[in-house]
Amino acid sequence: MALQIEHRSELRLIGNSHVTRALDDEIDLAARSDARVLITGETGVGKDLIARLIHQRSTRRVAPLATVNCAGLTDTLIESELFGHTRGSFTDAYRDKPGILESAPNGTVFLDEVGEMSPRMQGSLLRFLETGEIQRVGATRAMTRANVMIIAATNRDLHAAVAAGTFRQDLFYRLDVIHIILPPLRERREDIPALLEHFLDYYARHHRTGPRAWSQDAIDLLSAFDWPGNVRQLRNAVERMVLRSAGPRVERSDIPDDLRPGGMSGRPSMAGATGTPGPAEARDLLRRMLDAGESFWSTVYGPFMSRDLRRDELKAILKEGLERTGGNYRLVVRLFNMPDDDYKRFLSFLRTYGCHLPYRTFRMEAGSGRSMRVA
Ligand SMILES: Nc1ncnc2c1ncn2[C@@H]1O[C@H](COP(=O)(O)OP(=O)(O)OP(=O)(O)O)[C@@H](O)[C@H]1O
Ligand SMILES: [Mg+2]
């Protein structure tokens, strides 16, 4: 399911650049105006964070913020997530179900990755934006109207997509009332020192270990790096350095080669070496569920939906769960601290995002004595 209801309160926009300070005013303006907001920028620049801040600073903050990730879902699923469906309208539609536009009354709906919508979905969304009417999938007429604020985000260049004919111009104009453009980190390097301080402090507390300060040399070096994965890459890199550096300060010599200017800088796809979460993070998330009793929904699902966790990492976590339970998905639900009733929701989420693993493989391993009982 692509619905995420937010109740998080501690959100901060870090950075001292002119851009970031101006951004703070834009967030206030958007929060006051209730108009539609389009947020664009490269991956990891903070689009998700801005959407949450707008919601939190608006009078809608007492109502839910619901996120729909439009990438990687079939039209039927996005349509039913947004507008709901009537019983029998498609194979898995066992009962009438409201969509999130109905479930977030007086709240905010965040359409993430809106640039990935198919032409058909673009048409449905446009119809809704023009009339405000919600027609459930399978219904013969519109049932209700929605009072929600719409925030959309994409890392695509929508002007180019409109020019290429892959994104509808009329939809673009409907979404683009307030347009917040987030420049990449390399175009606002003045933000880097404050972000380094903020995340060092956060991770040193979180892991109760590691250095408490940066040497000026280290800050200078990291400020010269291009950060193709933007703030997300910086955040993850700081976490690694916190876990790996031995002394009280991070020195220039502690900085890995690929975070130095020239090292993999212009190649986002190579950022994984230090920028994006790797097996260590996946293990940490697993530990938080198994040892600290945290729920899958907050620990894994949340980061996955905001793209802080990759599909292969989610699969690695699931694989571990299946190995420990001898391939029993119901036990995985318990192992990952979800109520038993979430079984269907869990499976449908895994299937929707192509993360479902065949349980049989693990059943065989159970026979070889590798399984673990959790119930
Ligand atoms: N100015 C900022 N201050 C503090 N944290 C930030 C800032 N910008 C981004 N972050 C953090 O960086 C991470 C990535 O940001 P976010 O998820 O908002 O990026 P995004 O633009 O939505 O990326 P994607 O296109 O990949 O979805 C998040 O943990 C977010 O909280
Ligand atoms: Mg995002």
pLDDT tens by residue, 275-305: 444 566 788 888 888 888 889 998 999 888 8
Q: Is the Cβ atom of 271 under 6 angstroms away from ligand 1?
A: no
What is the Cα–Cα distance from 268 to 17, expressed in whole angstroms?
23
pLDDT, tens digit, 9 for 90 and up, residues 86-145: 888 777 778 888 888 988 889 999 999 999 999 999 999 999 999 989 988 888 887 788
What is the Cα–Cα distance from 313 to 285, expressed in whole angstroms?
10
Residue 350 contacts by C-beta under 8 Å, 6 or more apart in sequence? 318, 356, 357
- Residue of 339, 336, 340 whose CA lies nearest to 293: 336
Residues that place a CB less than 5 A from ion ligand 2: 47-48
- Residue of 304, 291, 289 whose CA lies nearest to 353: 304
Q: Is 190 helix (H, G, I), strand (E, B) or coil?
A: coil
pLDDT at residue 168, rounded to an integer: 96
Q: Is the Cβ atom of 27 under 6 angstroms away from ligand 1?
A: no
Q: Using 50, 70 and 90 to split pLDDT, how confident is the model at 2?
A: very low
The dihedral built from the CA positions of residue 55, 202, 304 and 325, taken in this order, carries a sign that is: negative
Longest Cα separation, the chain: 67
Residue 44 Cα to ligand 1 middle (Å): 5
What is the Cα–Cα distance from 27 to 57, expressed in whole angstroms?
8
Q: Which of 4, 37, 48 to mutate to test the pocket of ligand 1 (most atoms within 8 A of CB)?
A: 48
Per the structure block, which two tokens stand in for 212? 């408490």
Q: Which residues pair with 214 in a beta bridge?
A: 250
Helix, strand, coil in percent for the chain, rounding step 5: 50, 10, 40
Place of tokens 């997300």: 232
Residue 110 Cα to ligand 1 middle (Å): 15
Q: Which residues pair with 84 in a beta bridge?
A: 98
Among 11-20, 70-79, 251-260, 304-313, which range has the highest average pLDDT?
Answer: 11-20
Query: What Cα–Cα distance (Å) separates residue 85 from each residue in 225, 251, 351, 352?
Result: 48, 57, 19, 17
Residue 99 Cα to ligand 2 middle (Å): 21
Q: Which of 231, 233, 234 to mutate to test the pocket of ligand 1 (most atoms within 8 A of CB)?
A: 231
By the 8 A CB rule, do 259 and 219 touch?
no
Q: Is the Cβ atom of 44 under 6 angstroms away from ligand 1?
A: yes
Over pLDDT 70: what percentage of the chain?
89
By the 8 A CB rule, do 84 and 97 touch?
yes
Amino acid at 283: R
pLDDT, tens digit, 9 for 90 and up, residues 165-174: 999 999 999 9
What is the Cα–Cα distance from 24 to 100, expressed in whole angstroms?
28
Q: Is 93 helix (H, G, I), strand (E, B) or coil?
A: coil
If you take atom 24 of ligand 1, which residue's CA is the nearest one? 43
Bigger pLDDT: 327 vs 192: 192
Residue 47 Cα to ligand 1 middle (Å): 6
- Average pLDDT of the chain to the nearest whole number: 86
What is the Cα–Cα distance from 369 to 365, expressed in whole angstroms?
7
- Secondary structure (H, E, C), 47-94: HHHHHHHHHHHCHHHHCCEEEEECCCCCHHHHHHHHHEECCCCCCCCC
If you take atom 13 of ligand 1, which residue's CA is the nearest one? 232
By the 8 A CB rule, do 40 and 181 touch?
yes
Decide if pLDDT at 215 tops 80: yes
Residue 131 Cα to ligand 1 middle (Å): 32
Q: Using 50, 70 and 90 to split pLDDT, how confident is the model at 8?
A: very low
